């Protein structure tokens, strides 16, 4: 009931803001609303019932959809919420403390992400699984590659479609190199540094052999951890994993033939198997994914946020566009390690 009154209040505020017309910008309106009502947001992840049943035999569904990285909490004003790393970790904390949750169905549709956040999510899933002694089944979507495949290694059983793209076991790092362009146009960058490798990865110079070796050592280190994770998750030898881990993707059927997944099937198949295999038939199934649309804020502002973005784009002047481009050019863009299919 409290949440319904909150929605009524927000709706009234929107009407007031609309009546104010052009005296304040769309961006200011959105910021005011978000700041004003952030205190009303739940401190826990909401549960959206997918299938009614015995709440003492609850199955929690978590959806890992999109790039696995910590881009900050998803705003309720976003029309299409993306993967929320901190929200997902919060959901796992909640599952760990909820004795009624007897299993997790992990839905994965992700090309991967940063090595840091992919490993953090994988380790936290494993910790919750061991602390609660509960099974985790994985349902892969269209893509569950690289970091998306890594997080799937916590699964006791992995399902994928024949056409799912998975695997891509490997690490990638890239850095732009403008040195040829600068030389061609007579440009130079003066750098003062405390050591030979302080500016390694700079886009303004050709990397030295030593720098290449340093970066390669970082990549090899992350790659070895990935191989170990797959070997443990799939009960394979590291040698067998390395034979498959040259970075390529596999179809679901190829992955099954190579022992990288267990079954060909969809989400419903994975859920049915999870409940049947673990004595959870008749149990309640709830979606505990952050921003699972069981949220008044998400539904109320999805159309509003789309209109806001359109208005903002229309109002942007050429000068503002140039400033935005200049800002992007000037922002530091240090090389980042990724467990990512298709590059950064």
Task: Indicate whether 27 belongs to any domain.
Answer: no
Q: Is residue 146 part of a domain?
A: yes
Residue 327 forms part of a structural domain: yes
Instruction: Report DSSP state, residue 161.
Output: -
Distance CA 319, CA 323 (A): 6
90 located within any domain: yes
Query: 213-222, long-range: CB within 8 Å, 24+ apart, which pairs?
Result: 215/173, 215/335, 218/173, 218/337, 219/171, 219/172, 219/173, 219/337, 222/115, 222/171, 222/337, 222/339
> What CATH number has the domain bearing residue 53?
3.90.226.10
**Residues contacting residue 186 through CB under 8 Å, at least 6 positions apart:** none
The residues pairing with 192 across neighbouring beta strands, listed in sequence order, are none
d(CA 132, CA 278): 14
SS3 316: coil
Do residues 105 and 134 lie in contact, with contact meaning Cβ atoms separated by under 8 Å?
A: no
Output the tens digit of pLDDT for each of the chain's 344 residues.
Answer: 444 455 555 555 565 555 555 555 666 656 655 555 554 455 567 899 999 999 999 999 999 999 999 986 555 444 455 899 999 999 999 999 999 999 999 999 999 999 999 999 999 999 999 999 999 999 999 999 999 999 999 999 999 999 999 999 999 998 888 888 888 888 888 889 999 999 898 888 899 999 999 999 999 999 999 999 999 999 999 999 999 999 999 999 999 999 999 999 999 999 999 999 999 999 999 999 997 655 445 545 554 555 555 555 555 555 565 565 455 545 555 677 887 877 55
Q: Are 85 and 66 in contact (CB under 8 A)?
A: no
Domain that holds residue 291: 41-171+221-340
Asked whether residue 74 is assigned to any structural domain, the reply reads yes
Report, in angstroms and rounded to the nearest whole number, the Rg of the chain calculated over CA atoms. 24
Among the listed residues 118, 139, 146, 152, the single catalytic one is: 146
341 backbone φψ class: left, alpha, beta (φ>0; ψ -120 to 50):
beta
Q: Which of 52, 198, 208, 228 is catalytic?
A: 198
> Does residue 216 form part of some domain?
no
In a domain, 228, yes or no: yes
How many domains are contained in the chain?
A: 1
In a domain, 315, yes or no: yes
* CB-based contacts of 14, cutoff 8 Å, min separation 6: 33, 304
Give phi and psi for 30, each to the nearest 5.
-65, -40
Q: Is 286 helix (H, G, I), strand (E, B) or coil?
A: strand
* Closest C-alpha among 222, 212, 219 to residue 173: 219
Whole-structure pTM value: 0.77
Do the Cβ atoms of 155 and 136 come closer than 8 Å?
A: yes
Report how far Cα 130 is from the mean position of its chain's Cα atoms: 23
Known active-site residue 198: yes
Q: Establish whether 118 is a catalytic residue.
A: no
């Amino acid at each position: 009931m409290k949440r319904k009154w909150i929605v009524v209040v927000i709706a009234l505020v929107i009407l007031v803001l609309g009546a104010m017309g052009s005296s304040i910008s769309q961006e200011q309106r959105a910021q005011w609303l978000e700041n004003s009502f952030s205190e009303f947001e739940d401190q826990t992840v909401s549960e959206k019932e997918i299938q009614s049943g015995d709440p003492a035999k609850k199955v929690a569904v978590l959806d890992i959809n999109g790039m696995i990285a910590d881009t900050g909490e998803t705003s309720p004003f976003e029309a299409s919420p993306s993967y929320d790393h901190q929200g997902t970790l919060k959901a796992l904390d909640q599952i760990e403390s909820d004795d009624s949750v007897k299993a997790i169905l992990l839905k994965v549709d992700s090309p991967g992400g940063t090595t840091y956040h992919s490993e953090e999510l994988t380790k936290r899933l494993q910790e919750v699984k061991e602390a609660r002694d509960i099974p985790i089944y994985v349902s892969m979507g269209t893509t569950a590659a690289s970091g998306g495949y890594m997080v799937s290694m916590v699964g006791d059983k992995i399902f994928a479609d024949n056409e799912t793209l998975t695997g891509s076991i490997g690490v990638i790092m890239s850095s732009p190199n403008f040195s040829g362009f600068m030389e061609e146009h007579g440009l130079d960058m003066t750098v003062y540094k405390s050591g030979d490798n302080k500016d390694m990865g700079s886009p303004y110079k050709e990397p030295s052999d030593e720098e290449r070796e340093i970066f390669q050592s970082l990549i090899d280190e992350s790659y070895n951890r990935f191989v170990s994770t797959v070997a443990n998750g799939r009960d394979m030898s590291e040698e067998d994993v390395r034979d498959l881990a040259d970075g390529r993707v596999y179809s679901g059927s190829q992955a099954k033939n190579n022992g990288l997944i267990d079954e060909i099937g969809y989400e419903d198949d994975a859920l049915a198997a999870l409940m049947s295999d673990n004595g959870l038939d008749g149990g309640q199934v709830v979606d505990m994914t952050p921003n699972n649309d069981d949220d008044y804020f998400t539904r109320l502002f999805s159309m509003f946020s789309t209109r806001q973005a359109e208005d903002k784009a229309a109002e942007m002047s050429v000068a503002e566009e140039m400033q935005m481009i200049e800002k992007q050019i000037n922002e530091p863009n240090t090389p980042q390690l990724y467990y990512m299919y298709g590059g950064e």
